[in-house]
Amino acid sequence: MTDKKKSVHDAWSSRFAFILAATGSAVGLGNIWKFPYITGEHGGGAFVFVYLACVLLIGIPIMIAETMLGRRSQRNPIETMELLTEEAGADKNWHYLGWMGVIAGLLILSYYSVIAGWASAYIVKAFTGSFFDADAVAIKGIFTGFVGSPMQLIFWHSLFMAATMLIVVRGVKNGLEKAVRFLMPSLFLLLLILVGYAMTTDSYFQGLHFLFVPEFSKLTSDSVLTAMGHAFFTLSLGMGAIMVYGSYLPKGISIAKTAFLIAGADTVVALLAGIAIFPIVFANNLHPDTGPGLIFQTLPIAFGAMTGGWLMGILFFVMLTIAALTSSISLIEPAVAWLVENKGFSREKACVWSGLATWLLGLGTVFSFNVWSNVKFFDRSIFQLLDYLTANLMLPIGGFCIAVFAGWIMKRQHSEQELNMPTALSYQAWKILISYVAPLAVFFVFLHVVGVL
Ligand code: PFF
């Protein structure tokens, strides 16, 4: 392809390094904090069913497309869209897609960092033994006291943003590979132990029933939109994060296989979190629709009650924080890569500016849990509004455009060459999913939400 400008990009050391980084981006608060609480709010099984269908039919094909676009151009998302439109001889306006991604990333990170701050604060709470023998009421008291204090939330939000920026300054490769390599297996193990604890409660099967037996009558159009939006959110799709990582991917590596692996790992982590949490919810007469505080009001009960719970609690929140870190760096990387590669910023300067802007915006989320809890836009708090705007609207719209671009605008011979699938049939299957199934599904869900269908 045309080499307009020399790429200043790093490259991953291997396919495995890419898998680690992309899994690090995908697995995060979305799986352990968000999936359980939105599943609880939207009635369980049927919501999970729609979410799984969206991962399979929309998420995976778009993950393949996003990785492919990034790798083909080896540039940041904005430049990727510019270059690839030029290559396809298409309209220039496609680069706005890259823009939307950069903005969505910063918006998401602004609230992501606040919640990640909660996870970090809970490391200290676990360490000081706050959960020891505490019942559901006491654990709830700890949570409401904590989120009611703006100063505490600001402190932890700032700490988390600073940690994110420190890692991003050093470039995506350094440290990230190592962090994820140890993180994933340990997180997996801890979740298994928590599932083990959930089995000892007498509500284990009630939890499983809630999670896996669909009652489709409970689904509203809003639930379907949330489930679809979550498929994008949890796989880090629709905003260029995976595109950036794809741009560091060496040529000649199978993108499709890699996407299946990443999406599979991501889904397993989310389901395990759900299996661990809902039995605790029911065993303690809590409500599944507790909202964003759900994991903070359930898992500490387990840590307070089980043998070895003190250490487990510390480890769990440490790992949740690291999982959030490996996601947050991918949320800000598109902005940083663009400032460095197009605006001539030094990496340090790019990090400071984008980090500061995100931190400032995050204060809106901080206050929405306390002093501004009554401030509502369209019936939503600032946090809920940001979440809705990004996960339910911007990511699916971004994903829709990526699907249309990969399926309709990009020349077939280019995508075929870049994907290099083992059989013509697998390429064809992807092509149908990306050209028809994924965009139409997103389109119909939107139509349904605005009441046209
Ligand atoms: N996938 C991350 C999670 O599930 O926590 C969140 C996320 C990261 C969303 C990167 C979007 C993104 F681009």
The pLDDT score that the predictor gives to residue 12 is 66
Q: 234: Cβ below 6 Å to ligand 1? A: yes
Expressed in angstroms and rounded, the spacing between residue 265 Cα and the centre of ligand 1 is: 14
Expressed in angstroms and rounded, the spacing between residue 180 Cα and the centre of ligand 1 is: 15
Which ligand 1 atom sits nearest the alpha carbon of residue 328?
A: 8
Q: 22: Cβ below 6 Å to ligand 1? A: no
Which ligand 1 atom sits nearest the alpha carbon of residue 33?
A: 5
By most ligand atoms within 8 Å of CB, the mutation choice from 331, 336, 393 for ligand 1 is 331
Expressed in angstroms and rounded, the spacing between residue 225 Cα and the centre of ligand 1 is: 17
Q: 29: Cβ below 6 Å to ligand 1? A: yes
Expressed in angstroms and rounded, the spacing between residue 305 Cα and the centre of ligand 1 is: 32
The pLDDT score that the predictor gives to residue 4 is 39
Expressed in angstroms and rounded, the spacing between residue 331 Cα and the centre of ligand 1 is: 7
Tell me what the mean pLDDT of segment 250-267 comes to.
92
Expressed in angstroms and rounded, the spacing between residue 365 Cα and the centre of ligand 1 is: 17
Q: 263: Cβ below 6 Å to ligand 1? A: no
Instruction: Return the structure tokens found at 359.
Output: 């931190």
Q: What would the pLDDT profile of 37-61 be if each residue is shown by its tens digit?
A: 999 999 999 999 999 999 999 999 9
Tell me what the mean pLDDT of segment 15-43 comes to.
93
| C-alpha to C-alpha distance for 248 and 3, rounded to whole angstroms | 16
Q: Which residue has the higher pLDDT, 38 or 75?
A: 38
Q: Apex CA 86: angle with CA 81 and CA 90, to 5°?
A: 90
Q: 26: Cβ below 6 Å to ligand 1? A: yes
The pLDDT score that the predictor gives to residue 175 is 61
Tell me what the mean pLDDT of segment 349-376 comes to.
97
The pLDDT score that the predictor gives to residue 249 is 86
Domains of the chain from N-terminus onward: 15-449 (1.10.4160)
Whether residue 262 has pLDDT greater than 80: yes
The pLDDT score that the predictor gives to residue 6 is 40
Instruction: Return the structure tokens found at 435.
Output: 């050209």
- Residue 37: name the closest of 394, 285, 298 by CA: 298
Q: What would the pLDDT profile of 340-354 be if each residue is shown by its tens digit?
A: 888 999 999 999 999
Expressed in angstroms and rounded, the spacing between residue 340 Cα and the centre of ligand 1 is: 22
The pLDDT score that the predictor gives to residue 172 is 60
| C-alpha to C-alpha distance for 246 and 267, rounded to whole angstroms | 20
Q: 130: Cβ below 6 Å to ligand 1? A: no
pTM reported for the whole predicted model: 0.94
Expressed in angstroms and rounded, the spacing between residue 301 Cα and the centre of ligand 1 is: 27
Whether residue 173 has pLDDT greater than 70: no
Residue written as token pair 């993180």: 183
Considering only CA atoms, which residue is closest to atom 13 of ligand 1?
236
Q: Which residue has the higher pLDDT, 319 or 452?
A: 319
Whether residue 176 has pLDDT greater than 90: no
Q: 247: Cβ below 6 Å to ligand 1? A: no
| C-alpha to C-alpha distance for 294 and 278, rounded to whole angstroms | 10
| C-alpha to C-alpha distance for 72 and 254, rounded to whole angstroms | 13
The pLDDT score that the predictor gives to residue 301 is 94
Q: Would the CA dihedral through 291, 295, 296, 298 be positive or negative? A: positive
The rounded percent of the chain whose pLDDT value lies above 70 is 95
| C-alpha to C-alpha distance for 301 and 306, rounded to whole angstroms | 9
Mean pLDDT score across all residues of the chain: 92
The pLDDT score that the predictor gives to residue 103 is 95
| 11-15, 94-98, 422-426, range with the lowest pLDDT | 11-15
